Structure 1
């Protein structure tokens, strides 16, 4: 198969291959685009779920913190009233019953609140709201007593969780200060754990949800789910937790300091000595989102596989169509017997090369080749033998013409043409002689199968047409046949000159 024809078919095939690649690339780009959009939507949904959970936890934490702060404030008012009334001189002269009525209000005896007690400067129990004749007690070694004795400005002090009067509670205390600023003792009361259990019990919590009440020094006062091993522990002593993670009225998403469960934590802090932290497991927050993400992801995966499968199928069909069109192009431009280009393709090639030569001011050469005595050979040996002769001549021509731009063609019957762009007359004659000698050597009977060749070379000028080149080469061919055949004749403009 001639190289020029192979190049043309390959060019068409490459164009189709580019089209198939473009289809696949556009399909992949579409898949990536839709996947990116889907991913953005899913991330927005995730952020929405987290924000909704954060708002819910903020409301919960605010409600709990408000309730605890209000009760501590009420209890603190009772403690301060007792501390201030005790330093009144008149209080010493009243009876125990009247003193109780003056010192203690009903708020201090509410449910979950322990009875208020008064201790002197040595830690001895002197007054008990629950009894006119209290049992002797000494609290001088308690933390809250030492704190008030050593720091006159401590104000309300809340102890660590402790066993107080046969119940787990936190002790709230105020310092009793004399008119001269001296330490006169401590007034103390308690809030039992039953208050927190009752408060948290009214809430609807999911498994894994936590509520933690802490002192300002990060001591855990209460926690639900209740764990006695955690109550009273100071988180400041834990090296695996950075307090900057959860600032006042802020939030944090990750693993907390108590257990290894990843949660969304929200902290609410008022002016109370205690603050509240609530947490919800991230698995619980994103469970619904995860279900939707899996469902949408499965749908997107199916669509992606469908689009890519369809694209690959269409690309394969485009490739098949390209091959079919290449074959049709080959059949439409190729002589079926010799494998050279046919007359139709030759006309389009010479027209294109002629126009290129006009633009570039370059010569165009043409060889017209005719099989000698072909009609008599065909009549003597038959059409099949004649066809074999034509095939042999075509092979000799193809072997002698190897440049990519050259165009060998079957011009008609036993006549062939070779278009040689860019060759001068002398170069064209050289190619013609190579073809003639090869045909002569190929034939077993030189007198039976030889060729006559007419060669012409022109540099196109304005007003000229490529038919002038064919006419000149054709005249040279007739001259070669008239001079005895098996020779090459070079055409000249305007007259012919014979060259052996």
Structure 2
């Protein structure tokens, strides 16, 4: 009976740690994916600009401060570089000039020279020749107007930044956490050892498991240091990389071993000292109570994590605002409460002016960044706890204002319009020369005539069309009896 209880406790301990390491791996993977994607978007933006215009010495000189500014604003980036088709440095963020520098021998340069894809390439860690700092190269190919290889744009990610991110997570005294390429090359690992950088685990039993599954957990011996660990892993969504989080079995089973020894000792004492059986039973009950309390706490922690994941599913991944599905639910609830309690309700529909032109001029990565800035400005302007901001679709946003009449909604809409204009985002496709928004307001009075939320939504949408018809960068509001004419381009 005692052996069964001990084994059951060991199984329970493994199950709890498996759940914890799986959740930890998911969190680290999402963080790493977002970090490398941010760097990739910067490369896409630079590559797009370089391919749009001739690469001349004057233009490269103008590009220099842009690269320096980008490095200053993105923590993980150590340097930005532009190489021509021969590998010669033509622009960079370094403070020192390198007139004879050439990187045509680097693996990432050869990769882009021999492959026509413009997808981001994440290379094995290297020691920077210019700064003597360990970095991870992230690069993109540049083509000329005829589609021929014209060079490479490179961002170097500080290895110490990646290690700091991984170091924020508790993996135990003998645990390990690693960023690995899909081909088995170690990119970064804690505990850190310089000789592990660029080392391959290809051919090991662990790599065979990592290669066969996108997500999973396994018990295996490390091909790096030989320690037996419980390993949870997950491949990154947008990059040929994976994260592995490993907890050493010695750390994992330490509490279980201690508990098992104590439990066996008490049972032996009960057999020998029957006269003190009562006190020993109490100790065993207390031990079991602690175990059940730990299980209860682990259950609540799992529920909390699941609730966080559910919250992520309700938000728009680009802007961080509520998504359309969440908005529809909140709008229907707010409208029914407005009718039931005879309280006013206002809806503001917002559209970024000439956004299609913006994408055509600046490209979709910059378009995404524009939407993020506009969303932040709207969220900052809507401050009451009960107010609700969502991305309705594309470049269209929605603001729901309970207990707000048309006058109050107009004030909020004007505040949003001015806040977006104050962002001063350049827009060559707009007569204003910068990004602006148009807003349409529909407010339901305490005894409004709208019978459904759809009626209020349609009126707000018609008001938005009216704002655009009035020349854009404006706010319009229609009463229930008013109609708005159709307009052409939104």
Aligned partner (choices 211, 218, 222) of residue 188 of structure 2: 222
Aligned partner (choices 74, 83, 89) of residue 119 of structure 1: 83
SS across alignment from 1:171: strand
Q: Does 1:175 align with 2:141?
A: yes
User: 1:296-375 to 2 correspondence within 5 Å?
Assistant: 296-302=263-269
The answer to whether the 8 A contact 1:148-1:175 is kept is: yes
TM-score normalised by structure 2 residue count: 0.50
The answer to whether the 8 A contact 2:217-2:233 is kept is: yes
Aligned partner (choices 194, 207, 220) of residue 254 of structure 1: 220
Aligned partner (choices 259, 268, 285) of residue 292 of structure 1: 259
Q: Does 1:52 align with 2:16?
A: yes
The answer to whether the 8 A contact 2:87-2:109 is kept is: yes
Q: What residue number does 1:264 align with?
A: 230
Which structure has the larger Rg? 1
The answer to whether the 8 A contact 1:125-1:137 is kept is: yes
Q: What residue number does 2:208 align with?
A: 243
Listed one character per residue, the Cα deviations across residues 218-237 of structure 1 (whole Å, up to 9, x for unaligned) are: 1001111111121111111x
Q: What residue number does 1:69 align with?
A: 33
RMSD: 2.8
Q: How big is the shift at 1:214?
A: 0.6
- For 2:268 and 2:74, locate their aligned partners in 1 and report how far apart those are by CA, in whole Å: 63
Q: How big is the shift at 1:278?
A: 1.0
Unaligned runs of 5+ in 2: 275-490
The answer to whether the 8 A contact 2:206-2:220 is kept is: no
- For 2:24 and 2:42, locate their aligned partners in 1 and report how far apart those are by CA, in whole Å: 28
User: 1:82-481 to 2 correspondence within 5 Å?
Assistant: 82-89=46-53, 92=56, 95-96=59-60, 98-100=62-64, 106=70, 109-130=73-94, 135-153=99-117, 155-164=119-128, 165=130, 166-236=132-202, 238-239=203-204, 241=206, 243-244=208-209, 247-271=213-237, 272-302=239-269
- For 1:210 and 1:83, locate their aligned partners in 2 and report how far apart those are by CA, in whole Å: 37
The answer to whether the 8 A contact 1:214-1:275 is kept is: yes
- For 2:37 and 2:71, locate their aligned partners in 1 and report how far apart those are by CA, in whole Å: 11
SS across alignment from 2:246: strand
Q: How big is the shift at 1:241?
A: 4.6
Listed one character per residue, the Cα deviations across residues 112-142 of structure 1 (whole Å, up to 9, x for unaligned) are: 4122111111111111134596533111111
SS across alignment from 1:71: helix
- For 2:99 and 2:55, locate their aligned partners in 1 and report how far apart those are by CA, in whole Å: 21
- For 1:245 and 1:153, locate their aligned partners in 2 and report how far apart those are by CA, in whole Å: 26
Gap change, CA 1:280 and 1:241, over 3 Å in 2: closer
**Higher relative contact order (CA closer than 8 Å, sequence separation 6+):** 1
Q: How big is the shift at 1:66?
A: 2.0
Aligned partner (choices 43, 46, 53) of residue 79 of structure 1: 43
Q: How big is the shift at 1:288?
A: 1.1
The answer to whether the 8 A contact 1:159-1:172 is kept is: yes
Q: How big is the shift at 1:180?
A: 2.9
Q: What residue number does 2:476 align with?
A: none
Q: How big is the shift at 1:105?
A: 5.9
SS across alignment from 1:251: strand
Q: How big is the shift at 1:49?
A: 0.9
Unaligned runs of 5+ in 1: 1-34, 308-500
- For 2:234 and 2:45, locate their aligned partners in 1 and report how far apart those are by CA, in whole Å: 29
Listed one character per residue, the Cα deviations across residues 413-451 of structure 1 (whole Å, up to 9, x for unaligned) are: xxxxxxxxxxxxxxxxxxxxxxxxxxxxxxxxxxxxxxx
- For 1:130 and 1:262, locate their aligned partners in 2 and report how far apart those are by CA, in whole Å: 44
TM-score normalised by structure 1 residue count: 0.49
The answer to whether the 8 A contact 2:82-2:153 is kept is: yes
Q: How big is the shift at 1:57?
A: 1.6
Tell me how many residue pairs correspond in the alignment: 270
SS across alignment from 2:196: coil
The answer to whether the 8 A contact 1:268-1:276 is kept is: yes
Q: How big is the shift at 1:52?
A: 1.5
- For 1:185 and 1:245, locate their aligned partners in 2 and report how far apart those are by CA, in whole Å: 34
The answer to whether the 8 A contact 1:75-1:107 is kept is: no
